[in-house]
Structure 1
């Protein structure tokens, strides 16, 4: 049984390395923001009486897609030999998007949003590129 755990850890480490080029502070921040966005979205839905399992499952699928796009950015970096330029640009885009969604969820719950957080969103939008299009039919609050 101990070997299964070691094998699973080794496989997971290899997968993170292959898909994301290893773990970094940027990916750690993205992971925290993705989790916080999901939790605040659930809380906002619960407080408004709009909590539905289908919406939650769609939210999880969107979170998986975020990490798929970051992996695509890393794989493009590998082809072009640009270090982590594309991976981190994609990650910054989604960090800004998740932070915006967290603040929207907080607003739905009646929580005040500090001005410094609003300023951070603007800075992160710039780091993620100028294209802030979330895509057709998407919602930042998911």
Structure 2
């Protein structure tokens, strides 16, 4: 991925109000791959101490959109068509990492796999896996949104 494209994706990510609210960081950006890290905050946690499923779903959706955007050279953005999540284990720990990888990058539709890991004392634990289908929309009005 060229530096200009990487910069535009990062700038878009930094404008995201929900990612600001989450205190999220874009950890790794490359062609067809996007990684987001968040630290635990009170609003993200269930009474039992694990991350809330809605936090995980949000990370899946956002990481998948940016992974799809990183796989195309066009000035376009993406909208989610379908999102399927399997919650595999309780999301215990102090951080979550969402790792999204494009599986199929078509002309209109992209399919992305996003895995979410919790960072625990004993290491990483896979807490959710997902499959997300996104539709590419043309940026006809020079909107600043990429994802």
- Structure with the higher fraction of residues in strand conformation: 2
TM-score bracket, normalised by the shorter chain, equals 0.3 to 0.5
- Structure with the higher fraction of residues in helix conformation: 1
Which structure's CA Rg is the greater one?
1
TM-score between both structures, scaled by the size of structure 1: 0.34
TM-score between both structures, scaled by the size of structure 2: 0.33
Identify the structure with bigger relative contact order (alpha carbons < 8 Å, sequence gap 6+).
Answer: 1
